[in-house]
Structure 1
Amino acid sequence: MMKLNRRHRRGAVVSLTSLIDVIFLLLMFFMLSSSFAKYQRIDLAGAAPSQTAAQREALLIAVAPTGDLLIDGSLMSLAVLPAYLHALPKDPLPILAVKPQAGASVQQLVDVLEAIESVGLDATLVASGDAGAMSR
């Protein structure tokens, strides 16, 4: 009988260096590609009123498709809205309700809400009766 020299195979040595390098590169990629910026938001809920809603009047601001605003039957532009809001009586402060008319764009609505927020007031968004009233 012939004796064959068999080499004993040792287990394959796996180097963890390349695995650690890949994990480090992924960590660096995700850290550098993420953004820690604070996104702006518009608070539609508003703060809790100091008085009951029954004691306060409601002021409806309708946003027309032309960008004009209809407030208490008066047609005005967005540029004069902050001055109009400053002239409102502070005690009791009316509830501001913003309603888009059919054909008004979302950007026009956001511009009105930002103008109201710039004065330091809160507004409630009133949904229009038509689901497709807002255009892009």
Structure 2
Amino acid sequence: MPVKLSPPKRGRMSMTSLIDVIFLLLLFFMLTSTFSKYGEVELMAAGKAATAEERQKLFVTLGPDQVTLNGQPVDLSRIADLVRSQPQDGQGHLVLISPDDAASSQRLVDLLAALRQVENLQTVVLG
């Protein structure tokens, strides 16, 4: 007597757990990513200033805890006002920045952000 074996019945696979996992992954990536806009810092090489001769030159030395403008110690929060008060010939100022070896890059970015407030200002970071 032949025995007929029927193939096992497959039940429907539940998609509920897959949807939950996808939702959790989506939520995780949304919460861990940053949506902030990063600021740009414009740097110019020392040799590329075409109109450098026409501008009033100012020299800023940047140390780890001190900033000097033309050899005089200044506060980083007031440097934009001091640069504005310097005499100029109408072309604006050229600020040559010489960072010390011990100065951090964050300090340089803070200085450039403070100087960005001045109109007709060109900054050159020296090696």
TM-score by length of 2: 0.69
Structure 1 consecutive aligned stretches of length 4 or more whose deviation exceeds 4 Å: none
Aligned position for 2:75? 78
CA distance in 2, matches of 1:64, 1:28: 44
**Relative contact order higher in (CA < 8 Å, ≥ 6 apart):** 2
Structure-2 residue corresponding to 1:48:
none
Closer, same or farther in 2 for the Cα pair 1:59/1:29, shift >3 Å? Answer: same
In the TM superposition, what whole-angstrom CA distance separates every residue of 1:106-131 from its partner, at most 9, and x where no partner exists? Answer: 3433332232123354422221xxxx
Aligned residues: 119
- SS of 2:52 mapped into structure 1: coil
**Bigger share in strand:** 2
Q: Against the structure 1 CA distance between its residues 15 and 64, is the aligned structure 2 distance closer, same or farther, given a 3 Å change threshold? A: closer
1:124 aligns with: 124
* Seq. identity, %: 33
- Name whichever of 19-28 and 32-41 sits farther off: 32-41
C-alpha RMSD over aligned residues: 2.8
TM-score, length-scaled by structure 1: 0.65
